[in-house]
Amino acid sequence: AQSVTQLGSHVSVSEGALVLLRCNYSSSVPPYLFWYVQYPNQGLQLLLKYTTGATLVKGINGFEAEFKKSETSFHLTKPSAHMSDAAEYFCAVSSWGDKVIFGPGTSLSVIP
């Protein structure tokens, strides 16, 4: 069975600082990995996804994530946080024959 953990239900960073949101997954078959962002009272929006190929994936709004199979991780980073990055972030995993599983989410606050 697949599972996703996100270390830290709440992360605070200063504006301009590095953003690092952690995601670890469990899957018995090659996974497909996703990061979604949710702004208040809105649905989720895809930030980026990893399917196959290059392990460093670039997404929208300056975010990127690296798939590390040996660490079963897919951490999300952004070099410099903006106030507009304050939102809830969800990591998700799926694989062939299985439905997508979402992590519990990490709430990101950006301090001016």
Partner 1 sequence: SQTIHQWPATLVQPVGSPLSLECTVEGTSNPNLYWYRQAAGRGLQLLFYSVGIGQISSEVPQNLSASRPQDRQFILSSKKLLLSDSGFYLCAWNSEQGTLAASPLHFGNGTRLTVT
Q: Which two tokens stand for residue 9?
A: 């239900």
For the chain, how are helix, strand and coil distributed in percent, rounded to 5?
10, 50, 40
**Minimum distance between the CB of residue 80 and partner 1, rounded to whole angstroms?**
26
41 touching partner 1, by CB under 8 A: yes
Query: Site map for partner 1, 48-77, x if CB under 8 A?
Result: -x-x--------------------------
Binder of partner 1 out of 7, 22, 32, 62 (CB under 8 A): 32
Q: How far apart are CA 14 and CA 20, in angstroms?
A: 12
Choose among 89, 102, 96: nearest CA to 39: 89
Cα three-residue angle 57-60-64, rounded to 5 degrees = 30
Binder of partner 1 out of 1, 70, 99, 112 (CB under 8 A): 99
Where do contacts with partner 1 occur on this chain (CB under 8 A)? 32, 34, 36, 41-46, 49, 51, 90, 94-100, 102-105
